Structure 1
Amino acid sequence: MAHTAFIGVGNMGGPMARNLARSGREVKVFDLSPAAMQAATEGGAVPSQSVAQAVEGAGTVITMLPEGKHVKAAYLDEGGIFDHAEPGTLFVDCSTIDVATAREVAAAARARGFRMIDAPVSGGTVGADAASLTFMVGGAASDLEEARPQLETMGKLIVHCGGNGNGEAVKICNNMIGGIAMIAVSEAFCLGQRLGVSVEDMQRVIAASSGSCVAVTDYLPLPGPTPKSPANFGYKPGFMTKLMLKDMRLSQMAAVETGQPSPLGAQAAMLYAMAEQEGLGELDFSSIIKLFDKGMA
């Protein structure tokens, strides 16, 4: 069986690669970070000295990279993935990037005799560690079915969303909702406290009422009622504020490109930018409640 190459084994890619390796597959990894490489290697992956070494002879190449520009460079640049992959290789890009770039790279892959799907994930580092991620996939159904056994070692729910780029589209829309909801919950709970209501009473009622959402039931931005939420651990990130800001900006880029009004998304992007400026970028995105505690928003 041909090995799997995994390029980008940081906070998300690292646990994903380790789960894939633990399933019995040979996984060759490459990352620019020595610490990330060491962690992946300790998890059972095989270290590579370069992208070329990881990719040569691979049946599948999985990438998890920060932004669209990194994805384009990794695949399209001279000496990149395309230059070292075997004809017919299946590429699975799990990065969260703009739809246009996802479609551009997929088209370039097809033109060179490769196959490609975009498969961004939801679930954060907790889901990556627990192999409970959701994959939203864009591309040919046959390519997804080939990738499915590997995706199933890293996640619990795999949804085919249509053609190339559609996985990214769903991911962007999902995170826009999540980002807006966290702001709404933060604002409402701060107001409730000002009115003299306890966090516990607010959470108990709202979790069973029309205002319920994940930010209330599992990920409350205040410590106490949801014991696993980052608020109980000094906002140690499951999903950093700076990454939510990136995704909110992707949603607004898509809104401009399609002519779709997005007033709440635009306001939310502005607030996450403010949170980053206030030093919250490396904390969990639920730390945005600190803006409301300070009365800045």
Structure 2
Amino acid sequence: MSTIAFIGLGNMGNPMAANLVKAGHAVLGFDLVPENLTVAKGHGVTVMANAVAAVKDADVVITMLPAGKHVLSVYEDIAPKAKKGALFIDSSTIDVESARKAHAIAARQGLPSIDAPVSGGTGGATAGTLTFMAGGSDEAFATAEPILKPMAGRIVHCGGDRAGQAAQI
């Protein structure tokens, strides 16, 4: 099983992280809202002091954030501190241009990445039946697919970088 950093433990992120824990992954989580951290801890997530601490030993980094500006800010902070070769998965629903920039930030650090926004709402997040629309290289998608499975009812590889966000829109 993998060590997964999960950044963004709100209404969608918390149940998604819980499903990863149930699947046997070690999940290191961070959120700016203290109440979200309390909920995550109850699901078996190891709560970290900040996003950088969460990613430094993670094999996979998942972000679930409100907007492109948040994703880009977090990526700028964490990508240089991430473990070599860690896979970055952004499941936020953001604009295509922000997704392009997020892929570029990861690539500058030699990190594979996919954009993988979801549909299915909080019910799907809790039930592990989300639909993931993934954009990224074939190699990155192949690595991401088994990580996404505990959270998904369906996973669709839509094409290269940004294709998941384009399909979501």
* TM-score class, shorter: over 0.9
Deviation, 1:150, is: 1.4
Matching residue of 2:70: 70
Distance in 2 between the 1:15 and 1:158 partners? 17
Question: What amino acid does structure 1 have at the position aligned with 2:94?
Answer: I
Q: Which SS does the other structure have where 1:10 is aligned?
A: coil
Deviation, 1:2, is: 4.7
Matching residue of 2:104: 107
Question: What amino acid does structure 1 have at the position aligned with 2:104?
Answer: A
Question: What amino acid does structure 1 have at the position aligned with 2:57?
Answer: G
Q: If each structure's strand is expressed as a fraction of its own residues, which one has the higher value? A: 2
Q: If each structure's helix is expressed as a fraction of its own residues, which one has the higher value? A: 1
Q: Which SS does the other structure have where 2:106 is aligned?
A: helix
The superposition leaves residues 83-133 of structure 1 with CA deviations (integer Å, 9 ceiling, x where unpaired) of: 210221100000000001101110221122111100000000000000000
CA root-mean-square deviation: 0.9
Question: What amino acid does structure 1 have at the position aligned with 2:149?
Answer: E
For the pair 1:161 / 2:158, whether they are aligned, the reply is yes
Deviation, 1:75, is: 0.6
Give yes or no for contact 2:80–2:109 (8 Å, CA) kept in 1.
no
Matching residue of 2:88: 91
Point out which structure has higher relative CO (alpha carbons under 8 A, 6+ apart).
Answer: 2
Matching residue of 1:4: 4
Q: Tell me which structure has the larger Cα radius of gyration.
A: 1
Structure 2 residues not aligned, in runs of 5+: none
Number of residue pairs aligned between Structure 1 and Structure 2: 169
Question: What amino acid does structure 2 have at the position aligned with 1:164?
Answer: D
Q: Which SS does the other structure have where 1:161 is aligned?
A: strand
The 5 Å alignment of 1:22-33 reads 22-33=22-33
Distance in 1 between the 2:105 and 2:29 partners? 23
Question: What amino acid does structure 2 have at the position aligned with 1:14?
Answer: N
- Structure 1's consecutive aligned runs of 4 or more residues displaced over 6 angstroms after TM superposition are none
Deviation, 1:39, is: 0.7
For the pair 1:57 / 2:51, whether they are aligned, the reply is no
Q: Which SS does the other structure have where 2:155 is aligned?
A: strand
Structure 1 residues not aligned, in runs of 5+: 173-297
Deviation, 1:162, is: 0.5
Deviation, 1:26, is: 0.3
